[in-house]
Structure 1
Amino acid sequence: MNDSGDRQIGGRIKRLRRLRKLAQADLAAALGISASYLNLIEHNRRKVTVPLLFAIAGHFGVEPGELVDSDDGRLLGDLMEAFGDDIFADSDVTNLEIRDLAQANPAAARAILKLYDRYRAVTKPGTASPAAPGAEPFHLATDAISDFLQENANHFPTLEAAAERMRADIDRSGDSFEAALRSYLFNVMGVEVQLASLPHGIARQFDAARQRLLVSDLLPPESALFLVAHHLGQAAAGPEIAGIIAASSLPEGDAPALAGNVLAAYLAAALVMPYAPFLRACRDYRYDIERIARRFGASFEQVCHRMTTLQRPGASGIPLHLVRTDIAGNISKRFSLSGIHIPRHSGACPRWNVYAAFLSPERINIQLSQMPDGQRYFCIARTIAKGDYRYNAPRRYMSIGLGCAIHHAREMIYSDGMDLTGDSQLVPIGVGCRICPRLECGQRAHPPADHRFALDPTNRPESLYGRIG
Structure 2
Amino acid sequence: MPSAAPTKPAARLGAKIRLLRRQEGLSQVQLAEALGISPSYLNLIEGNKRPLTAPLLIRLAQQFKLDLKALAPEEDQRLSDDLMEAFGDPLFEPLGLQAQDVRELVQNNPQLARGVFELYRAYQHAQDGLGTLAAKLSDGQGFDPEATRLPSEEVGDFIQQAMNHFPELELAAETLWISAGLEADAPYPGLAACFEARGIAVRIHRVSEGPGLLRHFDPDRRILSLSELLPQRSRTFQLAHQLALLDHSDLLDSLTTHPLLRTGASRALARVALANYFASAVLMPYDRFLKAARTERYDIEILARRFQASFEQVCHRLTTLRRPGAEGVPFHFLRIDIAGNISKSFSASGIRFARFSGACPRWNAHAAFLTPGLIRTQISEFPDGRRYFCIARTLQKDTGGYRGQHAMQAVGLGCEMGHAKDLIYADGLRLDQPPVPVGVTCRLCERTDCEQRAFPPLQQAFKVEENLRRTSFYARIEGEGRARS
Q: TM-score, structure 2 length as denominator?
A: 0.82
Deviates more, 1:347-356 or 1:87-96: 87-96
Residue 27 (structure 2) aligns with: none
Partner-residue secondary structure (3-state), 1:282 = helix
Separation (CA, whole Å) in 1 of partners of 2:185 and 2:394: 33
- 1:403 aligned to 2:428? no
Q: Does structure 1 residue 450 correspond to structure 2 residue 455? A: no
Q: What are the residue-to-residue correspondences of 1:49-448 with 2, within 5 Å? A: 49-53=53-57, 68-124=72-128, 126-128=131-133, 135-136=145-146, 138-171=148-181, 176-187=186-197, 189-197=198-206, 198-420=209-431, 422-424=432-434, 426-448=435-457
- Distance, in Å, in 2 between the alignment partners of 1:370 and 1:362 is 25
- The one-letter code of the counterpart of 1:78 is D
200-209 vs 259-268, which moves further = 200-209
CA–CA distance in structure 1, aligned partners of residues 357 and 240 of structure 2: 33
2:470 matched to 1:461?
yes
Sort the Cα spacing of 1:430 and 1:262 in 2 relative to 1 into closer, same or farther, 3 A: same
Percentage of pairs with the same residue: 42
Pair 58,111 (structure 1): closer, same or farther in 2 beyond 3 Å: closer
Following TM superposition, where does structure 1 have runs of at least 4 consecutive aligned residues deviating by more than 4 angstroms? 1-5, 7-11, 32-35, 44-47, 54-59, 64-69, 129-134, 172-175
In the superposition, relative to structure 1, how do residues 434 and 172 fare at CA in structure 2: closer, same or farther (>3 Å)?
Answer: closer
Q: Hey, what does 1:18 align to over in structure 2? A: none
Moved more, 314-323 or 127-136: 127-136
Contact 1:434 1:447 in 2 (8 A): yes
Alpha-carbon separation, structure 2, partners of 1:269 and 1:280: 16
Gaps of 5+ in 1: 15-22, 24-31
SS in structure 1 of the partner of residue 353 of structure 2: coil
- Quote how far apart the aligned CAs of 1:332 are: 0.7
What is the rounded CA distance, in whole Å, between the counterparts of 2:367 and 2:323 in structure 1? 33
1:22-37 to 2 correspondence within 5 Å? 33=34
**Cα offset, 1:325, TM superposition:** 0.6
CA contact (8 A) 2:13 2:71 kept: no
CA distance in 2, matches of 1:307, 1:453: 42
Corresponding position of 1:6: 13
Return the offset for 1:368.
0.4
Deviation at 1:397, TM superposition (A): 0.9
Q: Which secondary structure does the structure 2 equivalent of 1:400 belong to?
A: strand
- 1:301-355: CA deviations, max 9, x gaps? 1010011000101111111100111110101111101011011122210000010
- Equivalent AA in structure 1 for residue 13 of structure 2: D
Q: Is the 8 A contact 1:453 1:467 kept in 2?
A: no
Q: Partner of 2:164: helix, strand, or coil?
A: coil
The verdict on how the C-alpha distance between 1:9 and 1:307 changes in structure 2, with shifts beyond 3 A counting, is farther
Aligned residue pairs: how many?
440
- Measured in 2, the distance between the counterparts of 1:464 and 1:177 equals 57
Partner Cα separation in structure 1 for residue 379 and residue 217 of structure 2 = 46
> How far 1:177 moved relative to its partner?
0.4
Amino acid at match of 1:141: P
Q: Distance in 2 between matches of 1:307 and 1:110?
A: 30
Q: Give me the whole-angstrom Cα distance separating, in 1, the residues matched to 2:173 and 2:85.
A: 38
Deviation at 1:462, TM superposition (A): 1.9
SS of the aligned residue for 1:401 comes to strand
**CA deviation after TM superposition for structure 1 residue 79, in Å:** 1.6
Call closer, same or farther: CA 1:203–1:339 in 2, change over 3 Å: same
Bigger Cα Rg: 2
Shift of 1:3: 5.0
Amino acid at match of 1:238: S
8 A Cα contact 2:396 2:409, kept in partner: yes
Matched to 1:52, the amino acid is L
Q: Is the 8 A contact 1:301 1:400 kept in 2?
A: yes
Bigger drift between 229-238 and 85-94 goes to 85-94
Distance 1:401 1:452, change over 3 A: same
Within 2, Cα distance between the matches of 1:339 and 1:299? 26
Whole-Å separation in 1 of the counterparts to 2:110 and 2:61: 23
Residues in 2 aligned to 1:364 and 1:294: alpha-carbon distance in whole angstroms: 16
For 2:154 and 2:469, the matched residues in 1 are separated by 44
Q: In structure 1, how many angstroms separate the alpha carbons of the residues matched to 2:412 and 2:121?
A: 24
- Counterpart CA distance in 1 for 2:104 and 2:155 is 27
DSSP-derived class of the 1:277 partner: helix
The CA deviation at 1:54 is 5.5
- For residues 61 and 367 of structure 2, the distance between their equivalents in structure 1, rounded to whole angstroms, comes to 42
**Contact kept? 1:117, 1:140, Cα under 8 Å:** no
Question: Shift of residue 53 of structure 1?
Answer: 3.6
